[in-house]
Amino acid sequence: AQSVTQPDIHITVSEGASLELRCNYSYGATPYLFWYVQSPGQGLQLLLKYFSGDTLVQGIKGFEAEFKRSQSSFNLRKPSVHWSDAAEYFCAVGADTGFQKLVFGTGTRLLVSP
């Protein structure tokens, strides 16, 4: 069965510092991988996705993620964090067959300090 692990429940980063959020997945075949963000009072917004091809994926708001099959990881990065990035971030994996229901991690809450 598919599973996603986000080992960090909370992370605090200073504004302007770099950020890396970890995501490890378990899936036997080719995964489809997603990062979503939920800002306070908002729905889940897609940051980026990986389906195939280049393993370094660029997303919105200056985020990127790298798919590493050997490590079963899809970590999210941003070189310089802004206060508006404070939110909860979810990694998800979808099956490459069927209608692709998503399996989510437990989320990482990002706090940005001045």
* CB nearer other proteins, residue 15 or residue 103: 103
Closest by alpha carbon to 9, among 114, 111, 83?
Answer: 111
Q: By three-state DSSP, how is residue 58 classified?
A: strand
Smallest gap from residue 88 Cβ to other proteins (A)? 10
- Name which of 51 and 83 has its Cβ closer to other proteins: 51
Rank residues 10 and 82 by Cβ distance to other proteins and give the closer one. Answer: 10
Give me the sign of the Cα torsion angle 11, 105, 61, 42.
negative
Whole-number Å distance between alpha carbons of 104 and 89: 10
In angstroms, what is the minimal distance from the CB of 106 to other proteins? 5
Footprint of other proteins (CB under 8 A): 4, 32, 34, 36, 41-46, 49, 51-52, 90, 92, 94, 96-107
